[in-house]
Structure 1
Amino acid sequence: MIKATETKLKGCFILEPEIFEDERGYFFESYNHRDFCEAIGREVNFVQDNQSFSKQGVLRGLHFQKGEHAQAKLIQVLEGAIQDVVVDFRKDSPTFARHFSMELSDKNKKQLFVPRGFAHGFLTLSDTAKVMYKCDNYYNHKAEGGLHFDCPDLNIKWKLNKKEIVLSKKDSTLMRERNFNHIDSR
């Protein structure tokens, strides 16, 4: 059984599995297609699983896939803790260009479902973190886009200061947009 709570961004859900714990440890279903689709109220078929390992301070994102290659994602942390951030870039959405942030960890075992049309990124808060996420569409290099993590118009409150943040060369050169109207992320 999954508890689903819609965030302030329509279609984006926090998912909490039912966890069975005893002196041996714990057990839970991390994914059940039928229960997942019922919880979010629509059918989503995942076709690809991705996994990353990051050291503390590593920030990956904010990334998205455009047009027919847009991806919905189901994010979970296998080890450690991250600050997960999503930005709604669905032009027809009442929450266009707004963001949502939450901590995902191996301790809270929460997951975040991010529909198509969103940018996504995360910051590693623990010494290391292993993140796994499902995608409902295949990655396409030509369709990728992104925004710089400290884009002033997004005003995201990251949990580490800028001096502690480690970016890839690619992520350090992402756009620092002041007008999001031309972004078509679905």
Structure 2
Amino acid sequence: MPLQFSLQQLAQRVKKLQQLKKSEDEPKYRRFRAKINPGDNQSAEDELKKEICKDMFKEMSIIGQFNLGFIITKLNADIFMIDQHATDEKYNFEMLQQHTVLQGQRLIVPQSLHLTAVSENILIENIDIFRKNGFEFLINEEAQAMERVKLVSLPTSKNWTLGLLI
């Protein structure tokens, strides 16, 4: 029985199979388009930059957890890795910032601070910020530099008194 054979058809079929194989090997995700160039990485940085706000967390769907410390989430076509410990610290800091009330605790004897002239000027220029945070100072304009400021009140909150770092 004669068998029909065409070398041309065989070559076409092999070509189609090779093309199908190539398309299966190609990744199904979006490729990084920017070129990595040590002299000009701005386009690469722009492509990787993604800013998120707190409201976006409500829209994220959780994919899973990695290494007992990271949550993998998805928002639209983007995937994010969230550090659970850093997120917890941020939350605790914001709660403390909102609910902590600092009060001043007057000292019996004012303390000399022994600041450098530059530090002394910075303190005097920003005295309102220190007062808002519970610190009070006596400033003697007549005294010589580095001896003009004395601490008279420290901030306290609940059972904690903030003090000097020595």
What is the TM-score with the length of structure 2 in the denominator?
A: 0.19
Bigger Cα Rg: 2
Larger fraction in strand: 1
- Quick one: higher RCO (CA 8 Å, sep 6+), 1 or 2? 1
